[in-house]
Amino acid sequence: MLQLRDFTCTDSTGRPLWSELNVDFVPGELVAVAGPVGSGKTTLLRAICGLVPEFWNAEVSGRRVLDSLGISGLKPHETAARISFVSQQPTLGFVAETVRDEIAFGPTQLGLAANSVSARILDVASQLEIADLLDRRVQELSGGEQQLVAIAAALASGADYVLLDEPTSRLDEINSKRINSTLSRLADEKKICVVLTTHDSEQGNLKFDRVINLGSTSIPERSFNQVAKTRGPDQVENYDLDRFTMRAGEIVGLTGPNAIGKSRLLDAIYDGASSGIRCVMVPQEPADLLIFETVALELTDADKLRDTDPGTTFARLRALGFDLQPDAHPRDLSAGQQLALVLAIQLSREADLLLLDEPNRGLEHATLNLLRQAIANLAAAGTAVVVVSHNRAFLAGLIDRELRLTETGLEQVSR
């Protein structure tokens, strides 16, 4: 049994995330950690396995107990054989060039014999149906495929406790169901304790044994329908980008299965935009665009680059519904907070065309509504928006039309 006793954490700004948390994690359980953006869900998983405060700037007190033995003073690698963590951004944890070597890394470091390592690789690859990826380079995979590989690498270590940060956030419906079924089997058949963060306590085909709720949201849910359709009929300017045509103020949803090339299409649209089109893009990993040590420095730099009045980008950030601590390190923010920060920075220069790659990933319902509101407002002001997403509920009522990317090209989806 893995136990947390009087577990307390404050972030890099001194803000308390949770206080005196007392939780038991039992083998065979499927546990959800829920809560709004910034409540500390990801930080909790990192703290359980010791990554916080070892590698992240936060203060943790209380005790971690594993099978009646205190492990609070142990380093992450000293508990890796029992507790495994899968990041929401799997590329941050990759250490090998190929999928096979990435999956092999954990059990090899634990001292398993070569034949045992090979057997584990084939076993987890079969479970997750990624045998065809074993000899591919991890950096060439789609975001969804990278998530599957990260989960496979965690399973290959043979841990009793597997902690996953939004494990299906990058996956389409088919792959999400596959992962959920695998996690259920791990708990039911292998008696592994599976703990995952989520914004949906009724996620897909998963049936949780318990849900741990962290914090409560102070972000009001807003209706986006009030502005979603206020664009006038006179907004008819077109953007012709290698047979990809949009009207000013139009919102297009770009869908398709994992690994079909949606992100590459966005890159092509961005690269192909003519000099007369002001095009900005928010990638699937917004943190890649954050380079300074504080939120304040990021916002100030954006104002300087755009030659706007000081505080302009911060005001745009607040308009998105976020009021971040200026001295917080961007890398310590939640995925939703990082997205909002990057969106505010990218939009600090006026855009004719905005490209969003899976912007809804890792956001809870209230923040999703704020994001939908922001997208609708931009479209109402004349910005054309392309949104890549697997989340049909997020796209419903927001987009004007849907384009689905298939093996044969782009297809207009009838609505």
Q: Any idea which residues carry the catalytic annotation? A: 166
DSSP 339-381: HHHHHHHHTTS--SEEEEESTTTT--HHHHHHHHHHHHHHHHT
Q: Which residues contact 257 (CB under 8 A, 6 or more apart)?
A: 172, 174, 175
- The dihedrals phi and psi of 6, each to the nearest 5 degrees, come to 50, 40
For residue 38, give the DSSP letter: T
| Number of separate helices (H) and strands (E) present in the chain | 14, 17
Q: How many CB atoms lie within 10 A of CB 370?
A: 23
- Answer whether 162's CB lies under 8 Å from 185's CB: no
Residues in the chain: 415
Q: Kind and range of the H or E element at 240? A: strand 238-241
Q: How many CB atoms lie within 10 A of CB 345?
A: 24
Q: What tokens were used for 378?
A: 């931009």
Q: Kind and range of the H or E element at 335? A: helix 335-346
